[in-house]
Chain A
């Protein structure tokens, strides 16, 4: 089992009072809570500090933790041998356990049998996973294999960490910020309780061409000045393949040309739109002929785009 320095995680001394521990936790929770924080690694940091706080705020667990002494974080250690009797198993059990499970187990929170009557049935733990998918996967639907470590309990109520691969079929049309549910795929129920669920938070990976907003997609459409001025029919990539788009004459930079129903599919049917945003692009270098023609245009044209300045 790997040692974790719960005091260092919360940034308090080993002699800190309950009040100091609570204050330290609240200060850090405000900064790292996954529902409110944009800090990188906020979820992992918050999980760590939640685990530290759960142990240190409880006098019984804190006293037990203090018995372990101070060791280097991440260092392998073995809890005192007499602790194994708390779990009704041999000391070897500790090998598959995490420190958090050990302290959760020490108070018998999981309703272990043999402690005053039959243990109640409990629903298995729910888990939340962020599922990053590409726009192509969102468009077509996809199958994901997601790594998850669950805490499971044996008949004696001893917890152990079990790495699992969650196989999830994501329906087409999932988009940024949506949450999907995998019923019954979370932690196993305890004492005959139902299994927990997994909640998948969809995160769209950045795409080299498109930017998503809900089910709509936005694409930069580079146009030559003459295509914009005269109008053109250009090929535009969509997630379903190339389509022809008619660029009207007089198209301006920033103008949005809508391709109806070419965005991401929506769960209830229909689809978002694809917007091609016109970007008028000059040739990096002008040939002699191009320069000559543009000079001729400059002389012939009476157009003044800055008339409103005067």
Chain B
């Protein structure tokens, strides 16, 4: 039975991919990804021969960006602003969870 199960994988920071692969996985165009990098919303893992290389962690960010682009009909700059706010919200939620965990029931 166990053989039928597929392994759910962690986003591995050491696993890298070129711009084209991230575009395919996220549904964003290569140009949109470059614009997100220029806005600081997406951080490339490294550059190889002038080309951006991304870690697998970027998949989640790029997919969220694609959803925001499609669902709110936003330009990359608007997506970048919203991503920054979402990141801040997630950070604050994590702090709130940490504080609530410390409170006795």
Contacts and interface: CB of A to CB of B under 8 A. Distances in A.
Interface in B58-105: 59-60, 63-64, 67-68, 71-72, 82, 86, 89-90, 94, 97-98, 100-102, 104-105
25 contacts: A35-B67, A50-B71, A123-B24, A126-B27, A143-B2, A167-B6, A168-B6, A168-B8, A171-B7, A177-B90, A180-B9, A181-B59, A182-B6, A182-B7, A197-B25, A212-B97, A213-B94, A213-B102, A217-B101, A254-B104, A256-B102, A267-B10, A275-B102, A277-B102, A277-B104
A96 B9 CA distance: 32
A29 interface: yes
Contacts of B40: none
B47 interface: no
Q: Which of B8, B27, B102 has the most C-beta atoms of chain A within 10 angstroms of its own C-beta?
A: B8
B64 A35 contact: yes
B105 A179 contact: no
A218 B102 contact: yes
Chain B interface size, as a band, is: 20 to 34
Contact of A211 (B9, B60, B90, B101): B101
A176 interface: yes
A263 to B, nearest CB: 11
Contacts of A277: 102, 104
Contacts, number: 86
Chain A interface size, as a band, is: 35 or more
A200 interface: yes
A267 B89 CA distance: 24
A214 B98 contact: yes
B86 A218 contact: no
A212 B90 CA distance: 16
A169 interface: yes
B101 A218 contact: yes
